[in-house]
Amino acid sequence: MILVQREFQVDKAHRGAFERMSSRGLWPAMREMGMQMVAYGTWGFSGSGQVVVTHSVYADFDHWYATRRSLPGYSSGSKVGAFYEDPEILERFKHLMHTYAERESLVNYSEATPFLMDEELSRPKVHYRLVNGPSSELPATFGRGSIVEQADFSYENKEIAETSKDLLASHIWPDLESQGARVIGLGTNALQGDETFSTFVAYPSFRELVEYGRSPRQDASDDVAQAWVQNTGLIQTVKRRLLIIGTDYGKTN
């Protein structure tokens, strides 16, 4: 599984149209190809306000390429992905294509960062769509104005990173989700080493992140509190940034 984080430079005057073309056209079409767009918005606080950002999840790199309207290394539209060349799959979403036909014309520049996701610890459900297979599920969301925290961790070595993953999965994340957070997943930037990983966790608002997302709650169990302390001691560096969600696309709880 891979999560592709793509930053788009779109003029602010065009961002409303860009979101509508995406949420009413492209993202539903890509569900028919088996993928999920799990987060869209702008970087908040210390992040750049010059871009909008999507987080799209695919089964693997072949799946990602199959969804592309223009493959890497080719001019726009001269070589399309496999789903656009398969008449039976195309039939599932061609009625949506007019909705996003002009979307690329709104983009001045875009840049993608792929993350290799841990499938056991990540929540999206995606697959390479076959003719007789189902589309992907509508992804969960807290809606416009909610946040997704991306935390980029580094450790002394891979073994310590694996211990940290275990603490997150067994103690910290279940406690966050019991309070109302929603874990998206965990993955390693494809251009970095195994002693690093990034986590993606959604919160209804910034208030919830402050209340229980940064440290153990006062009424947390001893096991959970100890897991927080142990995990903090393992981390060599951590960099955090917040995505302010800018769409209501998705399924609300």
Sort 197 into a burial class: Cβ within 10 Å, 0-12 / 13-18 / 19+: buried
Nearest 5°: CA angle at 223, between 221 and 227? 120
User: What are the tens digits of pLDDT across the range 89-136?
Assistant: 999 999 999 999 999 999 999 999 999 999 999 999 999 999 889 999
CA dihedral of 124, 129, 133, 138, whole degrees rounded to 10: 40
As given in the structure block, the two tokens for residue 144 are 């416009």
**Parallel, antiparallel, or unpaired for β 36-44 and 147-154?**
unpaired
**In this structure, which CATH number among 3.40.50.720, 3.30.420.40, 3.30.70.100, 3.40.50.10420 belongs to the domain 2-117?**
3.30.70.100
Report the C-alpha gap between 71 and 82 in whole angstroms.
10
Q: Output phi, psi for 100, to 5 deg.
A: -115, 15
Three-state SS string over 133-159 comes to CCCCCCCECCCCCCEEEEEEEECCCHH
- The partner residues of 201 in beta bridges, in order of sequence, read 149, 183
Q: For position 1, what pLDDT does the model report?
A: 98
CATH 3.30.70.100 in the chain, residue ranges: 2-117, 147-245
Mean pLDDT lowest for which of 69-78, 108-117, 173-182, 237-246? 69-78
Task: Give the CATH class of 147-245.
Answer: alpha beta
> pLDDT-derived band of residue 240, with 50, 70 and 90 as boundaries?
very high
Q: What one-letter code names the amino acid at 199?
A: T
pLDDT at 47: 56
Mean pLDDT in residue range 162-171: 97
Report the 10 Å Cβ neighbour count for 187: 23
The model scores a pTM over 0.95? no
